[in-house]
Structure 1
Amino acid sequence: MGTGSAMRVRGSVLRNRFLDALAMALVAGLSFFLLLYVGYGEAQRNFERFHVDKLAAQGRMLQAAIESYLRRDLPLSQYVGFRARAERLRASDEQILALAVHDAGGKPIFTSGDTEIALLPAVPERGRITVDGGEVRKDRRYLQLVLPLANRYERVGSLVLTVGWPAIERAVSTQFLPLAYLALCLSVLFAAAVGFGRDWLARQRVPWLQILYASLFLAMAGAVVTSMVQLYSRGAQLEAKALADSLGQRMTEIMGFHLDLRQLQGLDRAFGEYRRLNPDIGAVALVVDGRIAIHTDPFMVGRPWSSDASTYEYRVDVTPSDSPQRVEVAVTLPEDIVYGRVLHNAKNFLALFVASAFLANLFLQLAGTLHRAGPAASDATGEKALALIKPVFYVAMCVEHLIYPFLPQHVRSELAAGGFSESLAGLVITIYYLFFALTLVPAGYLVQRFGSRRVMTIGLLLTASGLLALLLPGSLLPLVLGRTCAGIGQALLLIGVQSYILAVAAPERRTQGAAIIVFGFQGGMIAGMAIGSLLVVNLGPGGVFALGAVAAALTALYARIVIPAQTGKSREEDGLSAALERLAWELGQALRSRSLLATMGFVGIPAKAVLTGVVVFALPLLMTEQGYRHEDIGQMLMIYAGSVIAASSAVARLVDRRGRTVLVLGIGGLVSGLGLSAIALADTALLGHGSYAGILQTTMLAIGILVVGGAHGLINAPIVTHVADLDLARRIGAGGATAAYRFL
């Protein structure tokens, strides 16, 4: 019997370790592969941009020659010289599959290369990518740059350069494929550390597990950055070669006349103009027998040409066949063009690291609690019961906030596409909060009647349905239906989670239970906006909606299987009518309380108005109009949520010790006004123009949103304490007073 018991205990330990390792492998794998996916998407877009810039540089010379002809009021169809120029261009770059000139109706006039390649359809305006007046079009086979051709009066046609898209995609995939194996190995390593070293790690004062996770994440990020640098370096070299070849073709024509370079007037200005048209260029030079004859930096003229290790350099020999001198055109691109694009992605990786850290910490706590409390869930109470509910609320908040970085823009564009006024966007956003508030009271009745687990599950399924509704054809109706379902679902979930916590938490753990909601909301907000803003770039809004719906449905399945059922009540006195009567009486008392109305009017309502009207709605629209990308918007909203968490945790302890909620709320309102002033200042002409103005604008926005977040952190928790201390709370109870405040 003793031997059998020992074997069962050992089997249970091994099973627990395996489950811990499997859970951590999934968490780490999700983080690492999400990082890899984001890096892959960024690399593909930037490597594509290098090819587009290369095509633009190559096509710009031919475009200028054709437009010079058109400005003499001559017809495009009679242009002579296209074939010779196009053939030279194709000979200098084997990646170019075809060049063509099309008339204003899209009909081909001249072609060179593969004549079977047709002009790809135009891209809708909201998804269009433009480069120096040209339009990028692509499908699964080809990437085209369409440059306009215009005479003195109007656009009369297009110059189209085509390269193969699979070759670009294959270059990125080849570079990133080994990283998938690295992500898998790092996930297994982290899982093994958790599965076999948890007991030792738990006894250490130093948080080695968190340090290990951060180290592995940084190692993965370093590998992704290294691959991006290598890929971008290849792209920069291709661009330098194309720029040099393009300029070299023009110089070859000039040198063919055997002119003395000293007799050529304005060649230095032509080089300067070429650099202006191609801002990535570091320098352009004409080198004769190793010495610089012409340079975009006049200080370099007359010096020997020497290569610079900090630049990408390409030289083209333009020496005439019978010339005793060696003449070369040199073009350089600074390495900063590569590292600048990589550094632009560094903040995306940092945001993803923060989101992954929240997720990993959540599941590490869950695994640790289950490890200490045992495997059974049906009789879960206390610490284990609280640990089981954390993923439900956290993931639900994460799913809801996945769409916030781009929801206002998406709503406005969908309304415009359907012929509706864009002013209805505010109404669509408001519908969520309206149905959220209207559902709170019925949700409490449903919890009493059916139990918290069932209400949570229904709330999660409604959240998933709301996201799926946004994928339906149409404009206004799917938007209204989707946000209505989301508002009802989130209200059911909140009341279900809150009721579950009150039912299972011991009296001494009620505060910890309430912290689950605070952490779940703010942590889910940070993670959701970070992940959503990065994924929408690759998946598009529809892809993020579908992903969020799947995550919500899986969380509902988790709640249904793992969360222990809570017995509902069917007593008549606890019915919906009784709850509504009680709420009506409490609201009547609340509306007669001057102190509560003052608190709401001067603090509560303005704070909520700033959150919903400015932070969630207006700020994304403002930043979109200013040219910020989705990930920039999401990261700005992350700053808000992080500031709220930091300020709330600090001020809660202060208020508990010293009280003085009126002073804290007053400071919060004042600071909120200062933050809004900084945000408003970022959208004025006072910051000037140019690159420094852009930096100042971003800085002012970040400071403003940081200050507003801190101000709301000073308000969110103390205002509940303040309401609970009012005379109204002594008449109807603290719970009734706070419930009335939240509803109003």
Structure 2
Amino acid sequence: MENVKYNLRLAFGTGIVTLSLFLVLIVGYAQALKSYRQLSTDAVMAQTEATRLGIEQVLKSGVPLSEIAGLNLVLQPIVKSDASVIGLTLLSGSEVIYRAGEEGDKDSVIAIALNNKFSQIGTLNVFLSQDKLEQQVTSSFKPMMWVIFILLFIFIGSVLRSRERAVYLTSFSVVFFAMTVCVMMLVGSLYRDGLQSKAISLADIVSYRLSPVLEYDIGRDMITGVDSMLDHFRRANPELASIAVYKSRHLVANSIDANSMGHMIVDTGGLEYAFPTAGGGEVRLSYQAEMVIGQLAQVLKNFAILFFACGLVCFAFIRLLSGEMGKCTKDQVLERLKPLFLGAVLMESLMAPILPQFLSSVADANGLGATASSLFFALYFLGFALTLLPAARLIEAFDIRQVLFFGIVLSTVGCGLLGFSEPTQMFNVILARFISGAGQALIFISVQGYILRFSDKSNKTQAAGIIVFCFNAGFISGAAIGALLASYFGDHGIFTISAVIGGAMCLFSLILPSMKGNGGSDGTLLSNMKAMASDSLRLIKVPAFIRTMVLVGIPTKAALTGIVSFAVPLLLAEKGISKESIGQVLMTYAAIVLLVSYKVGPWVDKQGSSKTALTLGSFLAGGALVVMAIAFSMNQSWLIVLLTMVAMLLMGASHGLINAPVVTHVVNSTAQQQESDSSVAATYRFLERLGHVSGAIIVGQLLQWFPVEQALMAVAVFFVIAAVSFMVFDRQHALEAKS
């Protein structure tokens, strides 16, 4: 029996490692393909631009486009500039004057207008094939399958050599890190190859334009204007730091950007490329060091984030295999809950960087405005809020594992339905978001039920931190991984991946123990709803309760759904920010919430008052919105991302200061009422969901009425007024002093 358990652990661990390594490989492939596509397109654009200048020079002299001699010699360099070019056509009006190769997809065409002195008289269409680029990148990544096989062999071998469970975590860490380094090196190599390919294309342009000088014995003192021509070419290609043309090792002409880092390190050969030309000539060019370093830094940043995000998920599962044998049943159940709840949150958060944009496309496809987009977004939270109370009743009346399983199934179906829905199928999208919210509510209540039943004084602190940690860790991982994968798989691909994760979590939930309900000792669902309504009516008459709810609780949840989850991804996408950057901005928010939430508890206990934390949190929310308004008034993409990230840091700190202390504050503020602490906390959490549901609707309406900056500033003013009002009118300090 022991050998069977050992083999099952080994199979489970091998499966996790395999999935982790393939995740690194897929994201690396997507990053390499993205950068290689960009470099290939730049090379073709540079060659096409040079051709356009040559043709227009002839056109402006009065020669008709159809009568230009030697078009074949002029246009063929474009076809040869990159393997992705499959053909081109030269049009004069609707008449085809020249055709080479084949016409491809209209979505992959570069259209260049050709003008004479007065108007446009022709169009040059260059057709690209994305399949050829993918084939090149795929051929480079095929050897990585052997790397995965070798690393799996190392992992299995190390585990078989030792029966200690700690070997799983150690072996996984080594293998995962090794795979990440290998993929990073491969992506860097492909980027270098792309730079060289682009350099060849640029060198061909220069040698073609200077061919008379290079092929004939013309001295530098016999020609004029070549340096200015190279200056113009370098400025037209800002990635270049210098260009130099030599004839028999003698300098013919050159152009150097004196402000660039590139020419300072050309002597090292790291950024310089030299290409021979006809007639014994040579073209040497170097790239801007800032550009190359920036691109490599972007790749390294994405992989560092991927390593962290994957680590949060995979290490949670691996720890199950690395746990001590002597753990009691209660601790074992709590350990199993962590990866399951983290995976359930990951399923939903994977869609966070792309969902607002997708819902906006649904609204546009059905002839609706921005308000409808926010309504679609709010449906998830409406389903979540409406299911909370019935879910609490279900785990008392039925097997808690069955309720959890059903919740994961609902959420999975919601993700899968999005994956098979087009923007025009509005009903499917509405249904998908509502049942996803209902499913996540069932998951949340079921996990909370397991925690309550399997925690006591010995593990109460550990149990209390499971939901906070797993929710934020899942959000961090999902936002980062989803953004990195979205550029390759697309929106529907991400929805499908979320559904696959849900299916895996359905199976994983079966390792939890079956827990029969208490037989409905807490009354029927209707009686619970009446009790909650009764508690709500009594508590909203208590000034301290309603003050905290209106000034702190509901606005905070509204900011989470309306600003963080809805507006920020949508506005960043409208500014042309990449999905990777959007995911990293959202990841920043969740990471700070996790950090501050962990630290704020002891700080509040030491201060003896939660009022300070709540007031400071509200002020920080207002400050975050001010920074965000400034960010979206900028034009530079990097500055928008930087300032938005700062705003998310402040917003995350704000919510970290509020999330836990607000319940303590409400309970302490209503201590003189005839209500139990659990009743007050449950009623508050239920009413607080009004912010979840209304946040996206309110913010969406403000963005429709006002410019972005004014809408964000209006919300910021509200938070500042709410913070001042709460600070002035709340009497907690006075009450604590008397007690």
Q: CA deviation at 1:179?
A: 2.0
Counterparts of 2:385 and 2:522, CA distance in 1: 23
**Percent of aligned pairs sharing the same letter:** 29
Match of 1:8 in 2: none
Paired amino acid for 2:487: V
2:438 equivalent in structure 1: 488
Matched, 1:186 2:151: yes
Query: Is the CA contact 1:16–1:371 (under 8 Å) kept in the aligned structure 2?
Result: no
| 1:347-394 deviation line (CA, Å, top 9, x unaligned) | 111111111221233113322448445xxxxxx941122223223211
**What is residue 111 of structure 1 aligned with on the other side?**
99
**Aligned to 2:284, what secondary structure does the other structure show?**
strand
For 2:412, the equivalent position in structure 1 comes to 464
Aligned residue among 652, 656, 664 for 1:709: 652
Which residue is equivalent to 1:352? 306
- Contact 2:165–2:323 (Cα < 8 Å) also in 1: no
1:474-518 CA-partner distances (Å, limit 9, x unpaired): 243232222111111111111122122222333543443232211
SS across alignment from 2:362: helix
Taking the aligned partners of 1:335 and 1:398, their CA distance within structure 2 comes to: 38
Gap change, CA 1:623 and 1:103, over 3 Å in 2: same
Distance of 1:82 and 1:555 partners within structure 2: 61
Distance in 2 of aligned mates of 1:99 and 1:87? 9
Unaligned runs of 5+ in 2: 688-739
Matches within 5 A, 1:261-300: 261-297=220-256
Indicate how the Cα distance of structure 1 residues 581 and 153 shifts in structure 2: closer, same or farther if over 3 A, else same.
farther
1:315 matched to 2:299? The reply is no
1:578 to 517, 527, 531: 527
Partner of residue 633 from structure 1, selected from 579, 582, 607: 582
Stretch moving more, 265-274 or 255-264: 255-264
Distance 1:432 1:96 in 2: 45
Alignment of 1:577-726 (within 5 A): 577-685=526-634, 694-726=637-669
- Which of 41, 63, 76 is the aligned partner of 2:52? 63
Q: Unaligned 5+ residue runs, structure 1?
A: 1-10, 124-136, 138-143, 202-207, 320-325, 374-379
Query: Once the 2 structures are TM-superposed, how far is the Cα of residue 258 of structure 1 from its aligned partner?
Result: 7.0
d(CA) in 2 for partners of 1:730, 1:181 = 68
Matched, 1:239 2:198: yes
Structure 1, 675-684 or 270-279: larger mean CA deviation: 675-684
| Structure 1 position 535, deviation (Å) | 1.1
How far the C-alpha of 1:289 sits from its partner, in A, is: 3.6
Match of 2:699 in 1: none
> In structure 1, how many angstroms separate the alpha carbons of the residues matched to 2:273 and 2:189?
16
Counterpart in the other structure of 1:36: 25
Residues 311-349 of structure 1, C-alpha deviations (whole Å, 9 max, x = no match): 231334354xxxxxx554433335665553232111111
Q: Give the distance between the partners of 1:179 and 1:598, measured in 2 at CA.
A: 59
| Alpha-carbon distance, 1:287 to partner | 2.0
Give distance in 2, aligned partners of 1:96 and 1:537. 22
Cα shift at 1:193: 3.9
Residues 1:723 and 1:460: Cα distance change in structure 2 (over 3 Å): same
> Is 1:407 equivalent to 2:355 in the alignment?
yes
- Matched residues in 2 for 1:245 and 1:66: separation? 17
Q: Please report the TM-score for the alignment, with normalisation by the length of structure 2.
A: 0.85
Q: What are the Cα deviations for residues 507-543 of structure 1, in whole angstroms up to 9, with x where unaligned?
A: 5434432322111211111111111111111100100
Contact kept? 1:644, 1:713, Cα under 8 Å = yes
* Higher alpha-carbon deviation: 501-510 or 224-233: 501-510
Deviation at 1:418, TM superposition (A): 3.2
Q: Comparing 70-79 with 615-624, which one deviates more in the overlay? A: 70-79
Q: Cα RMSD over matched residues?
A: 3.0
Contact 1:435 1:487 (C-alpha < 8 Å) held by counterparts: yes
Once the two structures are TM-superposed, the CA of residue 169 in structure 1 deviates from its matched residue by 2.9
TM-aligned CA distance change 1:84 to 1:363, over 3 Å: closer
Deviation at 1:397, TM superposition (A): 0.4
Deviations 1:575-612 (CA, angstroms, capped at 9, x unpaired): 11111111111111111111011111221122112211
User: Structure 1 residues 59, 636: CA separation in 2 closer, same or farther (over 3 Å shift)?
Assistant: same
- Distance of aligned partners of 1:367 and 1:594 in 2 relative to their CA distance in 1, 3 Å threshold: same
Aligned length, in residue pairs:
680
Mean alpha-carbon deviation: is it higher for 182-191 or for 33-42?
A: 182-191
CA distance in 2, matches of 1:557, 1:95: 44
Residues 298 and 656 from structure 1, CA distance in 2 versus in 1: closer, same or farther, beyond 3 angstroms?
A: closer
Contact 2:545–2:670 (Cα < 8 Å) also in 1: no
Which piece of structure 1 moves more, 60-69 or 254-263?
254-263
Of residues 149-158 and 387-396 in structure 1, the stretch that sits farther from structure 2 once superposed is 149-158
Q: CA-to-partner distance for each residue in 1:44-79, whole Å, 9 max, x for gaps?
A: 222222222221222222222333445567654444
Which residue number corresponds to residue 690 of structure 2?
none
* Aligned counterparts of 2:258 and 2:396: Cα–Cα separation in 1: 83
Distance in 2 (CA, whole Å) between partners of 1:409 and 1:88 is 40
Partner of 2:333: 385
The answer to whether the 8 A contact 2:214-2:281 is kept is no
Q: Secondary structure at 2:269's aligned position in 1?
A: coil
Query: 1:658 Cα shift?
Result: 4.9
When the two structures are superposed, what TM-score results if normalisation uses the length of structure 1? 0.84
Q: Residue deviations 1:687-743, cap 9 Å, x none?
A: xx6xxx654443322222112212211111111122222325852211111111111
Question: 1:440 aligned to 381, 384, 388, which one?
Answer: 388
Worse-superposed segment, 609-618 or 500-509: 500-509
The residue correspondences of 1:142-157 to structure 2 (distance < 5 A) are 145-151=110-116, 156-157=121-122
Q: Deviations over 1:163-184 (max 9, x none)?
A: 6655533332232222222233
Counterpart of 1:160 in structure 2 is 125
- CA positional deviation for 1:635: 1.0
Q: Secondary structure at the match of 1:102?
A: strand
Cα distance change of structure 1 residues 364 and 468 upon mapping to structure 2, 3 Å threshold: closer
Assess, with a 3 A threshold, how the Cα gap between structure 1 residues 566 and 605 changes in structure 2: closer, same or farther: same
Secondary structure at 2:274's aligned position in 1?
A: strand
Aligned AA for 1:553?
G
Conserved 8 A contact 1:104-1:156: yes
Query: Is the 1:27–1:359 Cα contact (8 Å) retained in structure 2?
Result: no
Distance (Å, rounded) in 1 between the aligned partners of 2:428 and 2:238:
44
Distance in 1, matches of 2:254 and 2:383, equals 67
Q: 1:97 to 1:432 in 2, by over 3 A?
A: closer
Distance 1:584 1:495, change over 3 A: same
